Structure 1
Amino acid sequence: MTNVSLTLPFAGVSNARTYQALTTHDGQPLKGEQLIRSGRLARATPTDVAALQALNVTTVIDLRLPSEQAASPDIQSSAVQNIPAPLASDAVTAEYQTLPALFAFLRHHQGAVDWMIAGYQNMLLEPDQQASLAKMVRAVSAAPGAVLLHCSAGKDRTGVACALLLDALGVDRAFIYRDYLLTNTAAAEHAAALRNALRAAHGTGAMQEELAALGRADQRYLAAVFTLLDTRFAGSRGFIRETLGLAESGLHQLLSKFAG
């Protein structure tokens, strides 16, 4: 079997998984367990930290905004380099970071699917976000050991970052979509809690639909990223080389890190 998403049963870190038996679409093997994705590390337990050490994690890349990092800082380890590379997956949740503020916004606005698609694509289009993606790719390529990528829930920003990396490595997109959608299973309990919180705040059915669109991993969102990569940037590798400015040498360093 090839291309396996392996769930990591951490106690204080949500939506954590790594990859095993990765291959490219033409069957070339890639190194396993070099890339780990998760939600924030603010509640990582000592056992979680030990598990990350056992996975040889030497670099943690935090994709959250500075305000999120300050409000819920990662657990630090002297053996790990922590690198901030902030991204914003959509303008709505970036601006309305508390539930009361988000619910107040949703009471008078609709269009969450479109907001999410635009937000995903803006991660590739906005100069500040391109700079963060370039920083992320360089950090992944230069890490002496495994790399952990995370945002808040490990869904949108982590989903786009991992999709970009896996696609550039030549992993089949069908697998990338399946891996991305696993977040919906991992976050099912959290999604139910959000629905209950909105119900308690007397949210309408329309608001529930908008909240669900903001909170789920939706294949349409990631498809919009791949469409943009293919039509404007000559694919993931072209985006890394030209738009992110890593040139052929930077792309080669990334590919070499994961070469089987």
Structure 2
Amino acid sequence: MQRILRIEGGHNFRDMGGYSAADGRTVKWGTLYRSGVMSKIDATDRDALHQLGIVSICDFRTNDERSRRPTTWHHGRSIELLAHDYEMSVGVLQHLIKDRKTGSAEVRNFILEIYSELPEEQAANYAILFRQLAAGKVPLVFNCSAGKDRTGVAAAIILSALGVPMEEVIADYMLTNDSIGELAGILEQEPEYSRWVAEQPEVAYPLLRAEPEYLQRTFSILETRHGGIEGYLTGRLGISSAEIATIRALLLD
């Protein structure tokens, strides 16, 4: 099976199937997908996505992000698009690039702080995602803009809830680096980012990379605040143990 799907009008589109779970089962292929922004999907790509049979889209982007780059490839189909209404996200890079004097050390600290905050900031979006899964609304794709931070944390939480070992969770997260050139190209075409990418590539490129330490920071926060993944799902997201069992049955072979 193919993990990275070449959806030309999309970005960082991946099938999350094939990972081994702790109980000997495997995450199903063709059931759960992750992606970056999907606003430039053309007719050919739209047909390819429709062939995947996707019935749910969970979009983690802010109201402004969704307004400026709307997802439309699902129009005319029985596909739900779900998103939480909110205005600001630590995952939007403009928070950092306003300061032209930012260096690599500041970038690293900034990203680590992002990964500390995302489980709380994105709780409403992640709850929507898990409720869709518990309701059997699959195949499902979830996305943010880059498909790295908000999406990466969500993917890691799902895989961990399914019992996928941490080394495989991190390996899935790190696959984003295979698309870093594509993401840089996208940013170079965006007015709010293009000058920054051109003038400070030594800062911009590390910011776009996935690093194990970032995800490890999130898991450390989840352990400290919630006692781990299941405590976060049940205590913060309001997903019951029965719903978690349903999700495992749905997504594992």
The aligned counterpart of 1:84 is 83
What are the Cα deviations for residues 203-236 of structure 1, in whole angstroms up to 9, with x where unaligned? Answer: 3xxx444323322212111110111222332221
**Secondary structure of the corresponding residue to residue 36 of structure 1:** strand
Q: Name the CA distance, whole Å, in 2 between partners of 1:133 and 1:245.
A: 10
Q: CA deviation at 1:66?
A: 0.6
Counterpart of 2:238 in structure 1 is 245
Residue 115 in structure 1 maps to residue 93 in structure 2:
no
Within 5 Å, which residues of 2 pair with 1:130-169? 130-169=123-162
Following superposition, the deviation at residue 137 of structure 1 comes to: 1.2
Number of equivalences: 244
Partner amino acid for 1:156? D
2:214 corresponds to 1:221? yes
CA distance in 1, matches of 2:79, 2:186: 33
Alpha-carbon shift at residue 168 of structure 1 (Å): 0.6
Aligned residue identity for 1:222 = L
Cα pair 1:85 1:136 within 8 Å, conserved:
no
Mapped partners of 1:107, 1:218: distance in 2: 23
Shift of 1:134: 1.2
- Report if aligned partners of 2:17, 2:32 keep a CA contact under 8 Å in 1: no
C-alpha contact (below 8 Å) 1:85/1:133 kept by paired residues: no
Q: Report the TM-score when normalising by structure 2.
A: 0.85
Deviation at 1:186, TM superposition (A): 1.2
Alpha-carbon separation, structure 2, partners of 1:30 and 1:133: 19
Maintained 8 Å contact 2:31/2:138: yes
How much has 1:195 moved relative to structure 2? 8.0
Change (3 A) 1:223 1:5: farther
Amino acid at match of 1:114: N
Letter paired with 1:50: D
Partner-residue secondary structure (3-state), 2:170 = helix
What is the percent sequence identity of the aligned residues? 29
Distance in 1 (alpha carbons) for counterparts of 2:117 and 2:92: 13
Aligned counterpart, 1:93: 93
Q: What TM-score results when the alignment is normalised by the length of structure 1?
A: 0.83
CA gap of 1:191–1:64, structure 2 versus 1, over 3 A, is same
Instruction: Measure the CA separation in 2 of the matches of 1:44 and 1:192.
Output: 16
Listed as ranges, the gaps of 5+ residues in structure 2 are: none
The corresponding residue for 1:176 is: 169
Query: What SS class does the counterpart of residue 131 from structure 2 fall into?
Result: helix
Asked whether 1:185 is paired with 2:182, we answer: no
C-alpha displacement of 1:189: 3.7
Measure how far apart 1:259 and its partner are.
Answer: 3.1
Partner of residue 31 from structure 2, selected from 9, 14, 34: 34
Q: Give the direction of change, closer, same or farther, for the CA distance of 1:200–1:26 in structure 2 (3 Å limit).
A: closer
